[in-house]
Chains A and B, each alone.
Chain A
């Protein structure tokens, strides 16, 4: 699992590459836990190369969501593969998180 951060003025885009499981979730957790992430207005998660997610990966996002909301930082997922979106759907997380098809829609969200 590789996480690449691409900061711009008020937006941080994190590109996820690989499989997010109970072994690799710590990499993403470390990135999302950085205090300065709350300085951004938006955190966009580019899921184009995210090929797998387990409950441990979902748990990382869930555990930071309230902190982001309290700091008025919008968390938006985009470019999600169908099989990964299906996992969000099974738990009903697609209704609780902002997931859009494209980067353009993520920037506008």
Chain B
């Protein structure tokens, strides 16, 4: 089972990322909602790296690794660009305010933090790494 993927920093590769995660989880007898939640969390982090950290520069790339051991899912997403991207600490957005303002963004990391048990951004050398983990029954 393939457990690593490298993509260039383009939104057009988000489908490939979701398919990679779905395929990896597909034979684990997990509920569809649980699979979708992991797919969504990974998609959100990857989209943030592509758009906000790399400005959709297709010469840059991201590496994804996924692994399950004893029901513990671990996903590591490494941004190989040189910009350090560490999102602000998680805050609960006021969605009524978002609606009033007509805001399009600002919910992605909220979703990630609610979907996963642990979300950590850190630096390794001059790269940013995001580590996601979740216990899957």
Contacts and interface: CB of A to CB of B under 8 A. Distances in A.
A22 B95 contact: no
Interface string A58-100: 1110111111000000000000001100110011110010000
A21 interface: yes
A37 to B, nearest CB: 15
Contact of A52 (B39, B96, B105): B39
A83 B104 contact: no
B15 A21 contact: yes
A67 B42 CA distance: 31
B132 interface: no
B33 interface: yes
Contact of B32 (A22, A56, A83): A83
A63 B104 contact: yes
Residue of A55, A59, A65 most packed against chain B (CB within 10 A): A55
A45 to B, nearest CB: 16
B66 interface: no
B47 A22 contact: yes
B96 A59 contact: no
Contacts of A64: 102
Contacts of B111: 54-55, 87, 90-91
7 shortest A-B CB distances, which residue pairs? A59-B104, A23-B11, A55-B108, A83-B36, A55-B107, A22-B47, A63-B104
16 contacts: A21-B11, A21-B18, A21-B43, A22-B11, A23-B11, A23-B14, A54-B40, A56-B104, A56-B105, A59-B107, A62-B98, A62-B103, A62-B107, A63-B102, A66-B101, A86-B36
